[in-house]
Each structure stands twice: as C-alpha cells, then as structure tokens.
Amino acid sequence: MLLYLWSREFLNANITHGGYETNHVVATSLLDMYAKCGSLSCAEKIFLRISRHSVISYTSMIMAKAKHGLGEAALQLFDEMVAKRIRPNYVTLLAVLHSCSHSGLVAEGLGYVNSMVEKYGVVPDPRHYTCVVDMLGRFGRVDEAYEMAKTIEVGAEQGALLWGALLSAGRLHGRVDIVCHASKRLIESNQQVTSAYVALSNAYAVAGGWEDSESLRLEMRRGGNVKERACSWIEIKDSVYAFHAGDLSCDESGEIVRFMKDLEKRMKERGHRGSSSMMTSSSVFVDVDEEAKEEIVSLHCERLALAFGLIHLPEGSTIRIMNNLRMCRDCHEAFKLISGIVEREIVVRDVNSNKLVARWRTGALVAAREASGVGAAVGGGGGGGGGGGDRAYSSARAPPESLNIAFRGRSYRLTD
C-alpha cells in the first residue's frame, strides 16, 4: 500500500502538537517512516530531537543512512554511538554492513564482520554473511561471493535474500554462469520463482541460446508463474497516479510522449547512447532492431511517471517515484542525465521492499540501492552513493591486520 508523504507529515504535526515527540518509541517510528519515504532530512531532524538515545534509535538512523547510500556518514554515526558506550546489537551490525555494502566500503565491511565477536560481542549469523556476499558481489568479487554463498546454510526466506544478492551480482558483472546458478537455486527452493525464471531465460538469451530461453519461458507459463506487470506510482497534489509499461491510454499521453522525446533529444546531445549500448547485458532482451528497442525503453513505466511529474509538479520540487519491479539499467542512466537537464532531485524507491533504488541530484548520483543489478556504484559521482570500487581507508579507520572470516569450519581470507 502506498502511503502519501503529506499524510505522514500531517501525522507528525499532530504527534508533535500532542507532546509525544519525546517518546522514544514514537520518535523512532517517525524517523523510520521518513527514511522509508525518502526524506532523510526529516528523519535526521527527528533523530536530533530525541532526548535520550538508545541502541534502537541509533540503529534506525544508521540503517536510514545506509539505505540512502551514505555509508561514511552511517559509519561515523556508529562510531559516535560506540563512543557514548551504547552497546551495538546484531541488528546494528547488520545496518553497518549494509552501509558498507551499499557505498563501496568493502574493506571496512570485511573488517567489521571479522571483529564482531572480539569488539562487540556479536556472533555473525547467516544474515551478516549474506551482507558480505552482497558486498563482494556488488564490487566485482563475484567468485568469492559465490564460494561463500555455497557454504551458508539458510532457510527458504533467508536463502531468497542470499541467492537474490548473488543473482544481482551476476547480472551486474555479466556473469551468465552465476546468474544460472543463483536462478536455479531460487527455483529449487520455490523462492522468487518468477523473477528467477526471467533472469535465467535472459541469461540464456545473452549467451545466444534463444531456443532454451523461449523453452524456459514456456515452462514458466505452464507452471502458472506469470511475470508481474511493471507499474510506477507518483503523487501529484494529494492524488496518486499509476503508470504501466507501454500504456498510453491516459488523456495526457500525447503530451507525455512529446515531453519524453524532447528529453531524449537533449540526452543524446549530452552523449547518452541509450538502449543500444546496454541491451545485450541486463536491461531488456528483445530480438528487434535498434529503433524499436529505443521505442520500447522510452515507454517504461518509470519514464512515463517521470514525464508526468515534470509536467505537473512545481519547478524545483523533488520527483518521487515508486516502482513495483527492478529499474532497468538504461532508465537508471537516463534518470541521471535527466536530473541534470531539468535540475531536479529525483528519488526512486521499490514499493515491495521499501528500499531506495536511487537518488539523483542535478545529474549526480547521490545514492543507489539496486537497479537491474546496477548496484550502489553506478557512475555519476556525487554524495555518498559510492564510487565504483573499493574505498581507501580513512585515517580514522586503519585496516585490520587480518581479514580471515571463519564460517562453518571453513576459513576465508578476504583481503582488499
């Protein structure tokens, strides 16, 4: 269910007026609410107003910064928490590892997981190691991630997260073998079956196995696994508007298409190569000519929602879009350019997991979660959104002497 940001602000105003703002539970809930809405600044204001902090309030704020790609800021907040002698728990360490994973802080992340028991008295469990797999996979160390994933014994729900993370890594780095392994594990465990079938089918197509790809899609349909139709939502003047991929049935479709064509022309003037340069990797697998590919991608639901928002929202206001499916790589790159062209902040979130997909500000990627396996290190620079590789240690955080991870009788030496 999509809850409007304005209604949450109304709720906040009533809570504040009622004198409940200093209530630890209520304040932390408000903080989490704003972070999930994409309004980190409001979350920070709530955090600063909390009269007496605890591990819960700190963990919530660390996770909020992690989801917005502000890894360094999240780790600084963790250091502040420890300095105040507030003892972190296993959820806090999960938030710390998420911060490292989503911001390219690979060395720091490995250091934290290696010292959890000694420094913080927290024994790593499969959830923490899933974060390590995700972190390694995002930044190119796919083979290490795969070897670790094979040794982690998890239930069905946690297994979906583990193999889903590896699936994204395989997509990102063009590893068809990893995509196949991860997809098959998901299908066998009856988790994320539809998305796994689609990913496996696409992997076969990339490798040139069009017959295998089509056969798998037929098997998918026979099993009743129908791919969910892509949909994006945007709020305009207290009303929510939904857009489906390729659907031009709304009254303003003509204006939306003209607006998008103008933007695409301006993007090409800035060097955007569009779908032709990415179609063979992980975006859209369609055996059609380049002109048709461009037309298909231009009608993706998030682009329709973006155009509608740019037409109707006040100049300079933030564009907030919710997606029900993963954002393709071409749209991710297009949104980054459009943000600079129109000089607007654009925020895209996944409505199912309530995770940040990406945030762009005037052409720079401020933060990213995951976009068609694009991960946190998609170009464009900017803020804490990650810079496409392992980050150097800061002077305040020296590298540990050893990065040996022991798990289920096996030792991993993961150095940066």
User: CA–CA distance from 28 to each of 24, 50, 244, 271 (Å)?
Assistant: 6, 8, 35, 44
Q: Looking at residue 176, what is its pLDDT?
A: 85
- C-alpha torsion 153→159→162→167, nearest 10: 130
CB 371 within 8 A of CB 411: no
Q: Which tokens sit at 161?
A: 């997260």
Q: Which tokens sit at 317?
A: 């206001």
CA–CA dist 350, 320 (Å, integer): 11
Nearest in space to 379 (alpha carbons), one of 395, 358, 397: 358
CA–CA dist 214, 223 (Å, integer): 14
> What's this model's pTM, rounded to 2 decimal places?
0.68
Place of tokens 């907040």: 77
User: SS3 for 143-194, per residue?
Assistant: HHHHHHHHHCCCCHHHHHHHHHHHHHHHHHCCCHHHHHHHHHHHHHCCCCHH
Could you read off the pLDDT tens digit of each residue along the chain, which spans 416 residues?
344 454 555 455 545 555 555 677 888 888 888 887 778 888 898 898 888 899 999 999 999 999 888 899 999 999 999 999 999 999 999 999 999 998 889 999 999 999 999 999 999 999 999 999 999 998 899 999 999 999 888 877 788 889 889 988 888 888 888 988 888 888 887 766 777 777 777 777 766 777 777 777 787 777 776 677 788 999 888 788 999 887 777 788 889 888 888 988 888 888 877 644 333 334 444 444 444 444 555 678 899 999 999 999 998 888 889 888 778 778 888 888 898 898 888 888 876 555 555 667 655 555 555 433 333 322 233 333 333 333 332 323 333 333 444 333 443 334 33
Q: Looking at residue 274, what is its pLDDT?
A: 61
CB 347 within 8 A of CB 48: no
Q: Looking at residue 136, what is its pLDDT?
A: 94
Backbone angles phi, psi at 233, to 5 degrees: -120, 145
User: CA–CA distance from 59 to each of 35, 92, 228, 314 (Å)?
Assistant: 13, 5, 34, 35
CB 92 within 8 A of CB 55: yes
